[in-house]
Amino acid sequence: MNKTIEAALNQQINAELHSAYTYLAMSAHFAEKDFDGFSTWMRMQAQEELAHAMKLYDYVLERGGHVALETVAAPAKKLGTPLKIFETALAHEKKITGMIHDLYELARKNKDYATENQLNWFVTEQVEEEDSAGRAVEQLKRAGDNMSALLMLDQQFGARSSE
Ligand code: OFO
């Protein structure tokens, strides 16, 4: 496997683990504030991120590459209101989309069709990721400071099974 692509895939594994860490911190924050539904949503999101990391991890190994695990950066400590948190999540997903697209471009430039094919799944997944975070932001904007609307959303988000 091309060493530049291997390094970029390892960097993406690290980014996905950081995403998991980020959402786990958000989940803990919501649990501490008794928003159990938002907490569940974020916890499931963290699990999905771990699955993204493992998908790339398995792929690197399958290609006979080397998995190099590096330090995972700590998530933000100050999180803010539910709206602010979901806005942060949306911005984070947009950043990840950019990283996936750069990786895709790199695979294409190096004629690594297998990696390009593997990344197709991630390109599609990012459309979903941005959509679900974006919808959450819109719903929270509509709820504003209305506590009963927020609690209703909290309950609704807690019903998330998977996405
Ligand atoms: Fe949230 O999609 Fe992976 O990082």
Average pLDDT per consecutive 10 residues, the chain (163 residues; last block may be shorter): 96 98 98 97 97 98 98 94 97 98 98 97 97 97 96 93 61
In angstroms, rounded to a whole number, what is the distance separating the alpha carbons of residues 92 and 18? Answer: 10
Q: What is the pLDDT of residue 160?
A: 79
52 CB within 6 A, ligand 1? yes
Q: Which residue among 90, 96, 97 is best mutated to probe the pocket of ligand 1, counting the most ligand atoms within 8 A of its Cβ?
A: 96
129 CB within 6 A, ligand 1? yes
* Domains of the chain with bracketed CATH: 3-158 (1.20.1260.10)
Tokens 């006979």 -> residue = 64
Q: What is the pLDDT of residue 162?
A: 59
Atom of ligand 1 nearest to the CA of 19: 4
Atom of ligand 1 nearest to the CA of 52: 3
Question: Would you say 52 and 74 are in contact if contact means Cβ atoms under 8 Å apart?
Answer: no
What is this structure's pTM? 0.94
Name the CA radius of gyration of the chain, rounded: 17
154 CB within 6 A, ligand 1? no
Give the side-chain half-sphere CA count within 13 A for 10.
Answer: 16
3-state secondary structure of 152: helix
- Number of other CB atoms surrounding residue 79 within 10 Å: 17
In angstroms, rounded to a whole number, what is the distance separating the alpha carbons of residues 20 and 41? Answer: 12
Q: Which residue among 52, 100, 118 is best mutated to probe the pocket of ligand 1, counting the most ligand atoms within 8 A of its Cβ?
A: 52
